[in-house]
Structure 1
């Protein structure tokens, strides 16, 4: 039986060619997979730079918002100190010289541009067993006075002093701090006709001007404001430092003093 060598060679050649084509196809697929799943070094560097820029911008915005929040909190605390200080001053100055019985030594004792002391008769008659208003009945609800100024809170003095040793003055009521960081208290005393009162017994109005400052500095801020009272007089020249300040000025009527 005759065997055709040429036919066998063709089959072997065809079989070998198929293997080569298969190997080349697998290699192409591998190259395709590697190209679609990976990034070049340049692409990674660009992505990293964009991420750093984005995070830096977010951090800057966060710092700015945090600083703004801290400044607002400090200013709000300063304004609250001012309102507290003025509340106590208004309440007590209005009652200065209160003397329902006509026999108590009530009135303004000392009055300077930065301090004030006065007395009033507003306590002691509620339970002393006496007929203080001479109407035949004792210890009535409206019989709060007792004819003297010796009871608690009947002798009141306001001044400034550094009560906590932080280098900033506070508003003191009988030596006890009632408002912190009150840098200036300016007092102007007026008669009933609006003129300057020379004697304590002439005082009918008290113009109170306060300047309070924050407890922390703000290095991005410089205070260049001249602070004045209601008359336009400078009570604190531009400090030029980095504290934020707020001021408040009120004219208080003394209901029980003046002539």
Structure 2
């Protein structure tokens, strides 16, 4: 916008800007908040909240002591031994599960950790699908790189930037806005990946970070553990960066042209 406004309002398609950019950016985090509230309540209703997850072990079926069973055949009958297997499955603590002789012993927290990794991969894919084209478009429009080289270049730079400067942002999102546990983190990840992928399907550029913050805020509000002051600071940063970016772009056009 800032670069276009340097040449005047006639060079900015305000209708396209509103419908294709501003509305998706505004609606997507609000929708993420609503989904976060609803899905977290659903997890709580299904007893998948953190209290239930303190019982970390699924075990069963349970083998009882070997019993003798009489078998009858043409030559008479005899006694055979076989295990007495019940079909009951238990959700309990690790300590109690270890005291049972069971063929199945599954840790809920470790399984959720694997799901978290899968949901994180989904977010990375969604972000690459939605964010990379925005930057590729700038490079192509500036005639700096072709499409293939631009994608590779941006992937490398985004990876390096994530390794160098992502820690503070991650701490804000995972610890300051709200304290995320297994259930809330998984809900927020799945909402973020789904909404960004859905927007990408229709060619709508949205902010993965905005959607993720919306999902985290919805989960935090539903669990009543949200830090409103931290969330307010994040929202203020969103409001400030847009006019600042436009102003810097306008000023850069004035200096270099």
Tell me the TM-score normalised to structure 1 length: 0.30
Bigger fraction of residues in strand = 1
Compare relative contact order (CA 8 Å, sep 6+) and give the higher one, 1 or 2: 2
Greater share of residues in helix: 2
Return the index of the structure with the highest Cα Rg: 1
TM-score by length of 2: 0.30
